[in-house]
Each structure stands twice: as C-alpha cells, then as structure tokens.
C-alpha cells in the first residue's frame, strides 16, 4: 500500500472518504461533497441511523457526476477528544470498511479538522498508520481464495494543508508499522517452517538496515555455561540459537545501549510436562516476545533512531523425547545459579534467565526490558486487554506506562516483593522454576527472572494474553497482534532518543 499526502484532492480515486463529527456535524470536505452530489450526504444521514459516532462508517454509491465508485462517511465522534491511538483506530475502521469494496485508490479528505490538541499532521499520519496496520493479512500459504479478507487498497492519498510536514510526521510511523508487521508475520508462521535456525536466518535480513547480527549455536552457548536455555531445547532435533542484534544510532558509539530481550520458544509442547492437546497449535506463537524484539529492532534501524540498542532473543523448541529435560532435573545457568526444574512447561523463564544474564554481562546496558508469552496466569488476571508489567525501577515503570497510554499497547503494573520471592527457593538447588501452587503464577515467574538481574533498571512484560488474540480489534484481525513494538518504539522515542 502506497501512502501519500497532497495539497490537492485526487479526483480519479475509486473512493472518496469524508469525515462527519458527532451529532452529524459535517466537515468542510463533507459539505463540499454534499453540494457536488445534490445533497446526497445530508439525505443519507437523514434517512439512516448514521450519527457520526467514533469509527462509524457508511458507504454511499457515488452518483454519475462523480468519477469515484463510492463516497464513504467516516464518523470522528467528538474530535476534540481524539488522541494518536484513536486516530489510528479511525484508520483501522476505514480499512475494515474498505475490505467490503473493490476500491483500490482511496482519497481521504480530512483537511482542516479541528481535533483539539491533535495537530492535522498527527491526526493524518496516525490515521495512515492505523489504515496500514488493519489492512495486513497473512495469506502466504493459501493457494485458493487468496484475496479473501485482504484489503484491495493499493494507494491512499490524504488531503492536507502541509504535505511535506505530514509526510515527515508519517515517516517514522511507517517504519513502526513495518516492525509491527514483521513481528506479526514471525508469530503467524507455522512452527514446522519457523524453527530456531530459520528464525535466526530471517533475522540476518536485518543486516540490510545496518543492524549487526550475531548468531550463537549450542557449542558457543555451552562454552558460556547457558545450561538453563540449553536444557529447554535438549529434547528437540532442532538446534537452539541465541541471536544478538546490535543497532548503533547514538552520536557517541560508546554510549550504554538500551537492551530488549525476547523469549523465542518456536513451539512449546510443554516438554515432558505435556500440555493438553486442545489449542496446542497456538503454541507456535510462544516466540511472541522474540518476534516483538525483532520487530522493534527493525523499526529503530529503519527510522535511524538516535540510540544504541541491543536485541537478544533465545530461540528454542520445547519437545518431549528420550533426551528431553525431566521434572526434577537440576541445571546450572550462565549466572552460576542452579535451578531445579519442577515443571518443564515453565520453560520460558529458563530461556530468559540465560539471555538476561548474557545481555547484562556483555553489554552493560542502560536498561533491560524483556518480553515473553510467559504465563497463562496473566491471562486469568488481565484477560486479553493488558500485558502484565513488572519492574525493579519506578522511573522505568512509569515511562513504560506513559508509552503504553500513547501507543495503545495497554499494560498494567503488578507487584514484586520478598514474600513472593521466597516461594522460588528450592530445597536442593538455588532456585526452582515454579512457585508454590497456582496462586500468583505471573508474579512468581517475574520473581524468578529478577534472580538473574543485578543493578540494572529492568522491566518484564508478560504478553501471553495480548500477543495472540482470540478476536479482532481496531488495528488487527484475530491472531498475531505485534503487541509491544509500538509501545517500546514510543518509549525509546520519548525517553531516550531525544537525549542521546
């Protein structure tokens, strides 16, 4: 999809989109179209239930004196209350509506809409982002009905007062979208085709953006003492990998990097602690954290972010076999701490334990943020609406919460304390990989991870409920969401890039 911003309307477009505000207040472009069509817009509003509510749409067949096939009314609701995320939702609503037409060329006429604190540039650029995100569809392996559910849109133009400024505002958002879609694609890939090795090979492609990519195999990880990570993958015929992505964008090349660490279990059977068969196919998405880190690194490099950043992803496959890790095994992590593995389905924290330790030891980062589809307990607590947020640093936690509000990737803070930490003590090793029963499962998992953090500001995002969604939302259809890329890109832009 090609997006452009223009000072002149595209009279040759297949569809013309105009805005209608709350209580059917027409925008200037809507009034102009109404005059050109002999009152069609006003009459349609009068005889239908369309009221200009937020995200409401109405498709009109254009009369013969208009070259477009359709005129589409888009409800803005109370425009003075719009924020950037809501602007994206407006674009997403428009994309969903256009999937029901055959229109390929779209002309959006929202010039001069007074959206309160949201400038025209921000309004239009975020609408374009939402349009792009909602239009995405994964049809890579379909041989029939390939166009089903796919947006027909090929090019979109936005009428605006200052095309250059709006294009400049959209440019970093376009790269954010690329990162989100990259993450979605990785999560949606079938697990027989996205193995640790093929995942690592996909990340080599990021070198074209200027990212240094290093891939560690099992021999290198054995030499580093990564017994926790390697134990997870020992039952699989697929070799485990650790991929390190390094972006140098700060003026000072020696500046401490920001670090992002992702759990990348390309398929999780639960190992010997086998999962129930119902919906086990969704465990191909257990590498969602690694996908988000990969998408974020793509976005930062593509938009030439002025920071140093490191992305580290631990890629393993958790399978039962004669060589698989057993409940009751004790492994030694890279930190030197021993771990009693009481449940082989609590494997993501083992992967992260070594990846976190490796990151802080090698890179001495300014901050560490890990993402993982870590616990089913977080879905029980927060459903499919929020990611769980845990942190040892109040400033980092608050910065993430602000970025979550701005980006629409919602997070909710949860506690860490000594009482929960004591539940992770093992009777025969330094630590065990599950807590004391079903209570507070997400918190005890976070407490486990904190055992592998030194004095670095750190945050853990449990994205199990928001990485693979059971329903469609304003910005994506059912399935992979790409949750976390926008959140972390926003965090970097607002808190670190500007002071680099």
CATH number of 179-499: 3.40.630.10
Strands 155-159 and 105-109: parallel
Q: Which of 275, 306, 402, 410 is catalytic?
A: 275
Secondary structure letter of residue 440 according to DSSP: T
Q: What is the distance, to the nearest Å, from the Cα of residue 208 to the centroid of all Cα atoms in its chain?
A: 22
Q: What is the pLDDT of residue 150?
A: 76
Q: What is the pLDDT of residue 151?
A: 80
Distance CA 249, CA 444 (A): 36
Distance CA 184, CA 481 (A): 6
Q: What is the pLDDT of residue 147?
A: 66
For CATH 3.40.630.10, the residue range(s) in the chain are: 179-499
Confidence (pTM) = 0.97
Q: Which of 109, 134, 284, 349 is catalytic?
A: 349
Beta bridge pairs of residue 57: 74
Phi, psi of 451 (to 5 degrees): -65, -15
Task: Give the CATH class of 2-159.
Answer: alpha beta
Count of residues making up the chain: 500
Which helix H or strand E contains 23, and what residues bound it? Answer: none
For CATH 3.40.220.10, the residue range(s) in the chain are: 2-159
Q: What is the pLDDT of residue 498?
A: 57
Residue 263 annotated to the active site: no
303 SS3 class: coil
Residue 349 annotated to the active site: yes
Q: What is the pLDDT of residue 500?
A: 40
Is there a contact between 199 and 315 (Cβ–Cβ < 8 Å)? yes
Order of strands across the sheet with 241-248?
Answer: 212-216, 241-248, 308-318, 258-268, 367-372, 458-462, 387-391, 411-413
Distance CA 311, CA 295 (A): 10
Beta bridge pairs of residue 261: 312, 370
Secondary structure letter of residue 195 according to DSSP: -
Q: Could you state, in chain order, the average pLDDT of each consecutive group of 10 residues for the chain (500 residues)?
A: 95 96 92 95 94 96 95 96 96 96 96 88 97 94 77 93 96 98 98 98 98 98 98 98 98 95 98 96 97 98 98 98 98 98 98 98 98 98 98 98 97 97 97 92 98 97 97 94 98 82
Q: What is the pLDDT of residue 499?
A: 54
Is there a contact between 430 and 448 (Cβ–Cβ < 8 Å)? no
Distance CA 148, CA 152 (A): 10
């Amino acid at each position: 999809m090609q997006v452009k911003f223009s000072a002149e309307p595209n009279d040759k477009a297949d569809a013309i989109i105009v805005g209608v505000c709350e209580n059917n207040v027409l925008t200037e472009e809507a009034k102009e179209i109404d005059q050109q069509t002999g009152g069609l817009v006003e009459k349609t509003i009068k005889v239908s239930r369309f009221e200009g509510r937020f995200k409401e749409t109405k498709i009109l067949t254009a009369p013969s004196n208009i070259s477009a096939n359709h005129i589409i009314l888009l409800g803005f609701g109370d425009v003075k209350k719009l924020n950037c995320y809501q602007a994206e939702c407006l674009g997403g609503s428009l994309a969903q509506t256009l999937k029901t037409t055959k229109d390929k060329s779209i002309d959006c006429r929202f010039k001069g809409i007074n959206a309160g604190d949201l400038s025209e540039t921000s309004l239009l650029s975020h609408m374009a982002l939402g349009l792009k995100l909602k239009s995405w569809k994964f049809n890579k392996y379909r041989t029939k009905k390939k166009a089903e559910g796919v947006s027909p849109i090929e090019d979109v133009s936005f009428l605006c007062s200052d095309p250059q400024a709006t294009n400049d505002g959209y440019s970093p958002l376009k790269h954010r979208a690329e990162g989100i879609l990259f993450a979605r694609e990785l999560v949606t890939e079938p697990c027989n085709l996205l193995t640790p090795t093929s995942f690592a090979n996909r990340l080599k492609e990021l070198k074209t953006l200027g990212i240094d990519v290093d891939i560690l195999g099992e021999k290198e990880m054995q030499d580093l003492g990564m017994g926790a990570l390697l134990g997870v993958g020992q039952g699989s015929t697929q070799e485990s990998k650790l991929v390190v992505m390094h972006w140098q964008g700060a003026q000072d090349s020696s500046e401490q990097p920001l670090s992002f660490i992702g759990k990348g279990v390309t398929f999780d059977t639960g190992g010997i602690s086998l999962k129930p068969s119902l919906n086990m196919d969704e465990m191909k998405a257990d590498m969602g954290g690694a996908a988000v880190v990969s998408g974020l690194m793509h976005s930062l490099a593509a938009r030439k972010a002025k920071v140093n950043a490191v992305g580290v992803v631990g890629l393993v496959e958790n399978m039962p076999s004669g060589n698989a890790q057993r409940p009751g095994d004790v492994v030694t992590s890279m930190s030197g701490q021993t771990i009693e593995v009481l449940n082989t389905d609590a494997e993501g924290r083992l992967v992260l334990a070594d990846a976190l330790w490796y990151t802080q030891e090698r890179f001495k980062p300014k901050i560490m943020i890990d993402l993982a589809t870590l616990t089913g307990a977080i879905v029980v607590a927060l459903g499919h609406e929020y990611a769980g947020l845990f942190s040892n640093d109040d400033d980092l936690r608050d910065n993430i919460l602000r970025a979550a509000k701005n980006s629409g990737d919602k997070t909710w803070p949860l506690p860490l304390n000594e009482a929960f930490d004591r539940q992770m003590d093992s009777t025969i090793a330094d630590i065990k990989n599950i807590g004391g029963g079903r209570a507070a499962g997400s918190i005890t998992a976070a407490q486990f991870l904190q055992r592998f953090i030194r004095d670095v500001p750190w945050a853990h995002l449990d994205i199990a409920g928001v990485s693979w969604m059971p329903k469609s939302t304003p910005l994506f259809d059912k399935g992979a969401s790409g949750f976390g890329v926008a959140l972390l890109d926003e965090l970097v832009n607002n808190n670190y890039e500007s002071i680099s």
